[in-house]
Amino acid sequence: MKNLKKSENYINRELSWLDFNFRVLEEACDDKNPLFERIKFLSITSSNLDEFFMVRVASLKNMQVSDYEKKDAAGLTPACQLKKISEKTHNMVDKQYNIYTNKLKKELESENILIINRNKLSKKQKEFTERYFKEEIYPVLTPMAVDSSRPFPLIHNKFLNICALIKKGEDKKAFATVQIPSVFKRVIKLPSENGKNSYILIEEIVQEFLSMLFMGYNVVYSYPYRVMRDADIPIDEDDSEDLLLEIEKSLKERERSEVIRLEVDSGIKEELLSILQDELNVKEDDIYKINGPIDFTFLNEIYSEEEYDKYKYKPFKPQIRKELQCDDIFEKIRGGDILLYHPYDSFSTIVELIKKSASDKNVLAIKQTLYRVSGNSPIIDALSRAAENGKQVSVLVELKARFDEENNIIWARKLEKSGCHVIYGLRGLKTHSKITEIVRRDNDGIRRYVHLGTGNYNDITANFYSDIGLLTCSKKIGADAGAFFNMISGFSEPTCWNKLILAPLWLRKKTVEMIENEIKNAKEGKKAKITAKLNSLVDPDIIALLYKASCEGVKIDLIVRGICALRAGVEGLSENITVRSIVGRYLEHARIYYFYNNGKEDLFCSSADWMQRNFNRRVEIMFPIDDKNLKKDVIKILDIQLKDTMRSYIQHDGIYKKNKCSDKKLDCQEYYIKKALEKSVQNEENNDVVFVPQIKNKEK
């Protein structure tokens, strides 16, 4: 058999991620999406790109500085990757602003929604902005001049700024900068004229009246700019005596880390750009000249205006199924495993379970892992209350969850204060598992109730992340859950498990075994099939094994939302592999793995993607779906997504094209919205909440 690990058989993970963001961008210009959903998609591409630079590009730059020349599976060195990324991201930014200026902005204007600049203000609007500046903005601003006694100030990550050259009489020009304060909304609604809703960005107002900040000086010219800093700050766990303090230290280091991207107004004068470039130490390739407003996340503020609901998706509120609207959820779980498919099934079922456990006199202990939770988490409150009620509460709070470190430190301290036993993650690993164990004294003895999931215990993102959850009181899974928590809290390391499969010690081995079993069956002339739904497929060993399976005749269908390093449909390599990516109203976040296994149909859900980090550097859980009816339900989810004709992009040899099958229209997400409404007894007057699309790559 040919060499399956040749570099040309793999797609670089960073370039694949950029392809994913291009797919999100395609949704921004798809007329089939409501207008305000399209501006939301554009906003998402902007925030996605920010995180990509702060983490992935920063990591590659650190490798380059360290003279790290090792090639990735696709045969690219860090320097080569950075060059290709720069080319692709500059093209992406150009496309973003082309879509905004020539399509979305014009369509908004046709609906009498105007985003105007300071040069097009009417007299009435000009008077309003001047008054708003003097009364609201001016007292908050802090102009920063640069001279021999005032060094160049710290420019904070992702904050919008205005830079200017100022001059007094015949004096030499001086550089000055002012940060746009985040305490204000970025989008300011102007007085309505001629039935039109007009908005202006706060930086436009600041620029218009900038001279008031420099009395006695003439503002020669001014332009907005923004910097992106390296967020890939390593944490020295080996030499650290206190992980929490070490992470707090790293967060402070981020504030002054290297600038990896500079966004400036495309009209900026070279004289001013040169100062920024020199002071911030930015290379030419890392400068992005923006032909429009910097950072499209301001569109979220316009989206949130209630008066524009007619331009959005039809409202849908996650539903509580009739059988789960009960007083005793524990009795329901004892009656059989319960499968939840969020956001169609409401995550409130899980929140209420934790709340009930906190006050239930029969509950003795609650154990839970937390990776990312919401800013005002009801689960944190419930766990704290449980500890205060005298229950044994153990919580692993993963402090190393990127961009949630500060939030998680706050929660960890709150939980400790209330009497919970808190673990700050494990040295050298991220705990990415999603598991809760509730120990309860029932009439017939002690019983463990377990929740396992593919997504975080975040009641906010659960409204727009598509995830699977399982509630069970299976004795075998309960025993595994107890062993899991003993393992992460102490030095226990079970040699075998009943049902759960864990990374980093066992998940890779089990995954390889299941793929190889399908290969064996195919060689014997038996039906062999693999279907996998995941966020990212990168691990080169798993990809090589999938190529081998394809060559042996195994039918493989992959539903990969984001990064996919595998090339599908290549003759002699992956002819039996299909890859599709679903981009829609909800972020497809569930991980589901199906193996035909000669008709036994093994089915698993997991917190883990098929990436090196999930197999090798994270504590992950893969759990089986054993109940025959629930197994059918999950297989149906896979089947519906494979049949989707409205939200899927099909990949062939690394190139993605929107599935434009015209014979049968099927939107897999709308399908499950309809099914959720059919199963629920909630009436329409309660179905009044809009959850917006969040196509991010944050939690992975």
Q: Where are the domains of the chain?
A: 7-311, 322-499, 502-666
* Strand duo 618-624 + 648-652: pairing: unpaired
Residue type, 673: I
pLDDT value, residue 1 = 59
Question: Which residues, listed in sequence order, are joined to residue 287 by a DSSP beta bridge?
Answer: 262
Q: How far apart are the first and last CA of the chain?
A: 34
Identify the weakest region by mean pLDDT among 13-17, 71-75, 373-377.
Answer: 373-377
Number of other CB atoms surrounding residue 653 within 10 Å = 13
Q: Above pLDDT 90, what percent of the chain?
A: 84
pLDDT of 157 higher than 70: yes
pLDDT (average), residues 45-60 = 96
Q: So what's the pLDDT on residue 238? A: 61
Q: Which CATH class is domain 322-499?
A: alpha beta
In Å, what is the CA distance from 190 to each residue of 105, 134, 182, 200, 595? 17, 16, 19, 7, 58
Dist CA 384 CA 389 (whole Å): 9
Q: pLDDT per residue over 258-269, tens digit each?
A: 999 999 999 999
Tell me phi and psi for residue 522, to 5 degrees.
-65, -40
Q: Which residue has the tokens 């944490």?
A: 235
> Residue 100: is its pLDDT beyond 90?
yes
Fold matches, 322-499 and 502-666 = yes
Contact in structure between 561 and 21 (CB atoms under 8 Å)? no
Q: What torsion do the CA atoms of 296, 301, 307, 308 make, to the nearest 10 degrees?
A: 20
Burial class (CB in 10 A: 0-12, 13-18, 19+), 170: exposed
At residue 691, the pLDDT reads 41
Q: Lowest-pLDDT range, 145-149, 249-253, 332-336, 644-648?
A: 249-253
pLDDT of residue 687: 45
Of 544, 342, 566, the residue nearest 462 (C-alpha): 342
Q: What is the pLDDT of residues 520-561, one digit of tens each?
A: 999 999 999 999 999 999 999 999 999 999 999 999 999 999
Interval 244-255 mean pLDDT:
80
Write down the pLDDT at residue 236. 66
* Burial class, 600, CB count within 10 angstroms (exposed 0-12 / middle 13-18 / buried 19+): exposed
Give the Cα separation of 644 and 220 in Å (integer): 56
Q: 432 an active-site residue?
A: yes
Confidence of residue 428 (pLDDT cuts 50, 70, 90): confident
Residue 214, SS3 per DSSP: coil
pLDDT of residue 195: 87
CA–CA separation, 359 and 377 (whole Å): 17
User: With 70 as the cut, is the pLDDT of residue 346 above it?
Assistant: yes
Label residue 682 by pLDDT band (50, 70, 90): very low
* Cα 690 from chain centre: 19
Which of 225-239, 394-408, 484-498 comes out lowest in average pLDDT?
Answer: 225-239
Q: In this predicted structure, what is the pLDDT of residue 426?
A: 85
Q: What local confidence, expressed as pLDDT, does residue 360 receive? A: 97
Q: Could you say which DSSP state residue 537 is in?
A: B
User: pLDDT band for position 425 (50/70/90)?
Assistant: confident
In which element (H, E) is residue 332 found? helix 329-334
Mean pLDDT of the chain: 93
* Helix 35-52 × helix 78-99 angle, to 10°: 160
Helix ranges, 555-662 (H): 612-616, 628-643
Highest mean pLDDT (candidates 147-151, 345-349, 426-430, 692-696): 345-349
Q: Phi and psi (nearest 5°) for 116?
A: -110, 160
Rounded CA gap, 358 and 370, in Å?
17
Beta bridge partners of 582: 648
Q: What is the mean pLDDT of residues 649-660?
A: 94
Residue 200 per-residue DSSP state: E
> What token pair was written down for 292?
């429009």
pLDDT digits (tens, 9 = 90+) for 367-396: 999 999 988 999 999 999 999 999 999 999
Architecture of domain 7-311: 2-Layer Sandwich (3.30)
Q: Which of 432, 451, 589, 652 is catalytic?
A: 432
- DSSP string for 4-71: TT-GGGB--HHHHHHHHHHHHHHHHT-TTS-HHHHHHHHHHHHHHHHHHIIIIIHHHHHHHHTT----
Q: What is the pLDDT of residue 406?
A: 87
How confident is the model at residue 455, as a pLDDT?
97
pLDDT for the residue numbered 3: 84
Confidence (pTM): 0.94
Output the CATH code of domain 502-666.
3.30.870.10
